[in-house]
Amino acid sequence: MRKPRWSHGRVRPSVAGMTAQQTNRELVQRVFARMAAGDTRALTEAMADDVAWTFPGDWLWSGTWSPKTVVLRELLRPLLAQFTDYRMTADLVLADGDRVVVQARGHGTTVRGDAYEQTYCLILRLADGLITEIVEHCDTALVERTLVRP
């Protein structure tokens, strides 16, 4: 039996002969498939209790929310309350070790009736089948013009 090849010490065998990298990629693809169908709970259900969500940079929404209870209470619930409907579709999902990068598009309508067509690059870190970190890059001008910071 051949020993598994290690890539930078991060990729190791996982379930059914898949690497952790492949498992992480498939988990994220399943989450985004549910979100594309309008199930916004898919992402929160995949988050670890100690998840950290970061908007990097120097703009109105810059900051980090953590742990999961804070992410839900202070970021996601107030944010999603600003929409009558919202879906996010992944266009590209790439994995490298414990990180998965998603290029995505958001589609929604705000409670004020404004269309919300967003582009994203999300960098996710996973451990033990759960998302432990989210770094979200998006159209910051659209966010500041359309939404109210929670």
Cα three-residue angle 44-48-51, rounded to 5 degrees: 85
Q: Are 129 and 27 in contact (CB under 8 A)?
A: yes
pTM over 0.85: yes
15 pLDDT tier (thresholds 50, 70, 90): low
Q: Write down the pLDDT at residue 13.
A: 43
Q: Are 61 and 54 in contact (CB under 8 A)?
A: no
Per-residue pLDDT, averaged over 15-34, amounts to 90
150 pLDDT tier (thresholds 50, 70, 90): confident
pLDDT over threshold 50, residue 62: yes
Tens-digit pLDDT profile for residues 90-131:
999 999 999 999 999 999 999 999 999 999 999 999 999 999
Tens-digit pLDDT profile for residues 73-95:
999 999 999 999 999 999 999 99
- Cβ atoms within 10 Å of 37's Cβ, excluding its own: 10
DSSP state of 140: H
Q: Write down the pLDDT at residue 16.
A: 62
Q: List the domains of the chain with CATH numbers.
A: 20-146 (3.10.450.50)
